[in-house]
Structure 1
Amino acid sequence: MGGRPSSPLDKQQRQHLKGQVDTLLRNFLPCYRGQLAASVLRQISRELGPQEPAGSQLLRSKKLPRVREHRGPLTQLRGHPPRWQPIFCVLRGDGRLEWFSHKEEYENGGHCLGSTALTGYTLLTSQREYLRLLDALCPESLGDHTQEEPDSLLEVPVSFPLFLQHPFRRHLCFSAATREAQHAWRLALQGGIRLQGTVLQRSQAPAARAFLDAVRLYRQHQGHFGDDDVTLGSDAEVLTAVLMREQLPALRAQTLPGLRGAGRARAWAWTELLDAVHAAVLAGASAGLCAFQPEKDELLASLEKTIRPDVDQLLRQRARVAGRLRTNIRGPLESCLRREVDPQLPRVVQTLLRTVEASLEAVRTLLAQGMDRLSHRLRQSPSGTRLRREVYSFGEMPWDLALMQTCYREAERSQGRLGQLAAPFGFLGMQSLVFGAQDLAQQLMADAVATFLQLADQCLTTALNCDQAAQRLERVRGRVLKELPEFEGDVLAVGSQALTTEGIYEDVIRGCLLQRIDQELKKTLGANDVSCTLDGCLEVPWEQEGADEETEAEREGGACPRQPDSGAQIQPLCPPPSRGTFRS
């Protein structure tokens, strides 16, 4: 491809990046420590709070989310100068991609030529679309191809390409031999990208929730109040993405003019430079978080010992603080909600619901078809090998990428609608929402399958004939399908913080917002029992009737910033009170 960075990262550049990572960790870790306390309190309060009655929901699948290992021959554009070369590629069950010189090297346990975590990548199967993306990386050199090789390999037509693009890493260019192989690899790679991207969002560990809250608060303190996809990936990958986004403008200004080559060769060189910077930042972030791990483990253990005995007192203190805050901001907040939120809420709710409703309906259809196949097979061959094979296939449905693609595709189709939220709300987290809807579809399918198999195992005995067994399976089928709609109202549930005044302040505002969301969901879904409760919020939001008693002058007394125009930074609804814990 020609141009490469004029020089690799030198010692001074590496030292500069190390200093940037150290500064990030120094500013971030105190916020993380505070959120660990909030997360532990939230977990304990859930354990001690009212539990769902037995039998009122699907069983939770014990199988961890995974992708099926996929492997096969591909060609890859690699080397200096780059050439299309045959390789043997393997996608591991944890979503990590590896490639070997040939199949025998893989089978004999040899070293791979390269490997990568798929976090943050976007898969493109159109060469034209990829070249347009490459051109956009260095728009100032468009049309200047005088220094490029005349037979630039990226411009040679590729029949079945698989381009993996990353905003901060070297691009990976593969090609399959057939359309069928390309399709199979596309499903596998997309599954791996999602699996590695949502590792923190799927975790139930207090530390994972604390980390995500800490990242959000850290970025707010840096002046970023919008929402985007920066929290996709592991903790080290998230911090790396945060720092890379902060440093990218300066990096472009300082290094892009000095890159050799022009046009696409220059863009390719830019991705290689970014990859070197990303690797250095990721190594520093990983080392810093690894060094913090013993302190974090000790802090979590200490918080568990100190919070659990006093949890009732802590919750009462929190309730008093929340009550005072509600009183202080009641009028201004209600005025702001009526002016800024109420006119927009129907549109937002409709957009978000459509993102998940079609996916959940696809889950219902797919699940019903799978259960029907089992009943049909039972009538035909109650004890045969084919029945056992059907039961195994049914149990593997949540992890069958080709089968689940009908559910995932519905969420992918919503990206255009979600993109319409960017201009009025500054929302750029479309990929996170799509991944969340797909994760929800997979989890619902896994839970429904686990529930069906357990109930079927309990009700089927050797004393039943085929018709009796099939009738019992029909009853189990109806019971499982009846449970699915109960999850739809939880899609918009969000979390809260518990210990700091700032966290309680956010809870109060979110509680008021969720009242509005509840009302809009009930109107939209036509259900009286839809509850989009604040997940982990320990206070019931103040009642709407109380707000109506405020005078109009009181409501207008604390005007909040208006919604910014497109491209402006999103500002908080109301400025938070001075920081501190409610022990102070």
Structure 2
Amino acid sequence: MGDVVSSHLDEDRREMITARTREWMKEFSQVYEQQYAVALFNSVRFEIEGGGGTQSQLLHRKDPLAGCTIFSGSLFQYLEENRKWRNRFVFVPKDYTINLYESKAAHERGLHPKLTINCAGYKALTSMEEYMELINKSLPVGSNPFIKCATGFPLILWHPYARHHYFCVMTEKEQKKWHAVLQDCVRDSNNGLPENCTVKTPAFTDAVRLHRQARGQYGTWDMMCGTPPQILANLVMETLHPDIRNMIVPRLKGKMQQRQKNWMLISDAVYKQVLTQTTGQYEALVEACEAQRGPLDARLRTDMDQIITSKEHVSSKIRALVLPKAEQILRTNIQPYINSILEALMDPTSRGFAEVRDVFFREMVEISKNSLNGGGKEKMGENMERLSMLAFHPVKMQSCYEKVEELNLEGLQQRFDVSSPSVFISRAQILMREQMDNAVYTFEQLLNQSLEAQGDSDMCKLTQRCQDRVLKKYDYDSSTVRKKFFREALLQIIIPYMLQQLAPSCSPELPRFKELIFEDFSRFLLIENMFEEVVLQSVSKDIMMAVKEAAVQRRHNLYRDSIILTNSDPNLHLLGENPQVDWATKFGGDEPEGSVSSADEGRGFGRRRKQVVSMIQLDGVPLPYESCLEVPGVELIPEEDAESKEEENEEDQLGKAEDLSPKSPDSVNEIRDLINPVVEVAVPVSKEQSEVTNKTEATTEPSPPVF
């Protein structure tokens, strides 16, 4: 396979790719340096003038996944080099990368993983039909898949440029569980821009947006995924990939399926080369800008009043030019559609946040039941440990995420150049996870405070009281977060459209306004940014009014803006400074099994960390195929022209292995089963027993706790 890559990506082509990437990064660097100074100005101004939104009612956990991992389990992976399926042990740490090991023992010994997958930009698929539909966009191969899946339940990670990864499990139930885990890995990896970086993050996002607009690309972009170097690599590949394909694909030989395989290998090699360059050059760019931050910051603090005065003067001149044209576009092309867009956003998003509330409430019910039924402190500790990781449990949160996935902007996408609703779906899901964790963390702190003050003599009453307080605060914060999300989503849809409509008439006029800016302030005041601010101001009033009117409708469960709960619980935020409660130690008296010391934190082996999603598996029962044997009976996965007899043999042999299949994490839809799961485990029987009963006996025991 490597020969295919090297033969088509010779030295000359690699040099061409390097030159194109370097040229592209040079153009981007100029825009980023400009936007860095503007972002620094905005950050310092905000710091001096103050401001901010409504104070949240719920507490925020500083490091929710400290000492935790997400998941570990076993599934089958397709190895392209020998076209075989092998069992792999999967370990997902708190950074949501997917690490594949030969066996669980290899992971526990601290060996390096066979493969590490960063899921940024990927899509998690569960059918070959869906996969073929996507790959046919790059090089059509028809409807017949070129990979024979070992079972009927595939799991595929697809990327438009990078290598694809193929997995499978034995049952539909396992497939749903694994799909939830993979989707969470993709979701978290895509969310790679830290919001607490008040200079670098806005500088980068504005630079990307302006760089795309300079090429006539104004709408939303699906590949704003991952860390800045990954996003930059996606930008380069957006123009480079079609050129490379047109250059290489006609020269590929063999059957169509083989040509598609070869092209995917070449595409992955190109993407890796581009990503290596964007990583190094972006790091050098940020380092150079950060070196200038000190002098720029000092100048801003000295001349802030004069800079603000100059900006307001120039903005008023731009406003006089832009507003009449913007208002005309707003009246005729936008206002008639604002309510339709808002309605399309609000219904699924509100259902998703309502489901978050319901899932949290159901967990509270289980904890209360434990108290009423005399479950004891140890059981209470286990329930609270599980609750603490509820927001990061992809299986339990799946029902919430699915509500938002119903978001559909069909009919509006083409008008406003929205490539797909995935940008808004991912953002809403991240916000839902944050709100769930805030609710859980607030409940933990309130309950712990009540227990220290009143003891645990009436646990059920204390739990109920804390639950009611948290739900009220969740309702208020949920409303605030959703309204902010709706406003930002409307701006993301409308502003690019307005800029595109205004560009032909306004862009030629903008350069003359540069003469009004003092040279000393020119680094902090850019005409392009002020033009966009004027356009934003022109539409903000209509958007605010639309969201405000929607808040009055009871079906959306939004608080009106006139309802303010500021300082309604002044002592609560003092609890946010307290350390996270160790419930296993508090109720159990011993160090919890999943705890991890600071010395063990950096190691991937040794004492077992607390795991958010645990395997439903009884201790002492070994995982099947733990030595990483091949899937029983699958010697070689045949191609499309293989004989049907070989396929039948494979199916027979896989059927025999089905009962030994490795099991995955928890259920998707049955949350009650997740809390108290029941697992049937096949126990070996003697020959005499099998002759008498001819059946497999089963033992039923509770699984290890699901954290």
Name the TM-score class by shorter chain.
Answer: 0.7 to 0.9
Tell me how far 1:106 sits from its aligned partner.
2.4
The residue aligned with 1:102 is 103
The residue aligned with 1:9 is 9
Kindly provide the amino acid, as one letter, of the partner of residue 521 in structure 1: V
The answer on 1:211 being equivalent to 2:204 is yes
The answer on 1:489 being equivalent to 2:489 is no
Contact 2:69 2:93 in 1 (8 A): yes
The residue aligned with 1:546 is none
Give the number of aligned pairs.
Answer: 521
Contact 2:58 2:473 in 1 (8 A): yes
The answer on 1:427 being equivalent to 2:418 is yes
SS of 2:162's equivalent in the other structure is coil
**Cα distance per residue 1:278-326 (max 9 Å; x no partner):** 0100011111112223213213333333323433443333233222222
Tell me how far 1:4 sits from its aligned partner.
4.8
Q: 1:288 to 1:274 in 2, by over 3 A?
A: same
Kindly provide the amino acid, as one letter, of the partner of residue 436 in structure 1: R
Return the alpha-carbon distance in structure 1 between the equivalents of residues 6 and 26 of structure 2: 32
The residue aligned with 1:522 is 548
Q: 1:200 to 1:64 in 2, by over 3 A?
A: farther
The residue aligned with 1:336 is 329
The residue aligned with 1:26 is 26
The residue aligned with 2:74 is 73
SS of 2:396's equivalent in the other structure is helix
Return the alpha-carbon distance in structure 2 between the equivalents of residues 379 and 41 of structure 1: 58
Q: 1:346 to 1:3 in 2, by over 3 A?
A: farther
The answer on 1:507 being equivalent to 2:501 is no
Q: 1:89 to 1:500 in 2, by over 3 A?
A: same
The residue aligned with 2:578 is none
Q: 1:177 to 1:258 in 2, by over 3 A?
A: same
Tell me how far 1:401 sits from its aligned partner.
1.1
Kindly provide the amino acid, as one letter, of the partner of residue 7 in structure 2: S
**Cα distance per residue 1:350-388 (max 9 Å; x no partner):** 122234212111122223333444455455559712222
SS of 1:254's equivalent in the other structure is helix
The residue aligned with 1:577 is none
SS of 1:340's equivalent in the other structure is helix
Moved more, 437-446 or 493-502: 493-502
The answer on 1:37 being equivalent to 2:30 is no
Contact 1:355 1:434 in 2 (8 A): no
**Cα distance per residue 1:202-245 (max 9 Å; x no partner):** 55442022101110001111221121112111111111000101
SS of 2:121's equivalent in the other structure is coil
Contact 1:394 1:449 in 2 (8 A): yes
Contact 1:71 1:90 in 2 (8 A): yes
The residue aligned with 2:47 is 47
Moved more, 117-126 or 83-92: 83-92
The residue aligned with 1:120 is 121
The residue aligned with 1:352 is 345
Return the alpha-carbon distance in structure 2 between the equivalents of residues 156 and 59 of structure 1: 46
Q: TM-score, normalised by structure 2?
A: 0.68
The answer on 1:294 being equivalent to 2:287 is yes
The answer on 1:454 being equivalent to 2:454 is no
The answer on 1:181 being equivalent to 2:174 is yes
**Cα distance per residue 1:387-416 (max 9 Å; x no partner):** 2222222221111111111111112222xx
Compare CA radii of gyration and give the structure with the larger one. Answer: 2
Listed as ranges, the matches of 1:175-574 within 5 Å are: 175-200=168-193, 202-378=195-371, 384-414=377-407, 417-463=408-454, 465-466=457-458, 469-470=462-463, 472-483=465-476, 484-494=478-488, 499-526=525-552, 529-530=560-561
SS of 2:380's equivalent in the other structure is helix
Q: 1:3 to 1:492 in 2, by over 3 A?
A: farther
Listed as ranges, the matches of 1:130-169 within 5 Å are: 130-139=131-140, 142=142, 154-155=147-148, 158-169=151-162
Contact 2:192 2:227 in 1 (8 A): yes
Tell me how far 1:186 sits from its aligned partner.
1.3
Tell me how far 1:268 sits from its aligned partner.
1.7
Tell me how far 1:255 sits from its aligned partner.
0.8
Q: 1:282 to 1:424 in 2, by over 3 A?
A: same
Moved more, 297-306 or 454-463: 454-463
Return the alpha-carbon distance in structure 2 between the equivalents of residues 502 and 241 of structure 1: 24
The residue aligned with 2:582 is none
Return the alpha-carbon distance in structure 2 between the equivalents of residues 475 and 225 of structure 1: 46
Q: 1:526 to 1:462 in 2, by over 3 A?
A: closer
SS of 2:75's equivalent in the other structure is strand
Q: TM-score, normalised by structure 1?
A: 0.81
Tell me how far 1:201 sits from its aligned partner.
6.1
Tell me how far 1:514 sits from its aligned partner.
1.7
Q: Which runs of 5+ in 1 are unaligned?
A: 146-151, 532-584
Q: 1:112 to 1:255 in 2, by over 3 A?
A: same
Identity %: 24
Q: Which runs of 5+ in 2 are unaligned?
A: 496-522, 554-558, 563-707
SS of 2:7's equivalent in the other structure is coil
Contact 1:3 1:262 in 2 (8 A): no
Tell me how far 1:509 sits from its aligned partner.
0.7
Q: 1:77 to 1:22 in 2, by over 3 A?
A: same
SS of 1:90's equivalent in the other structure is strand
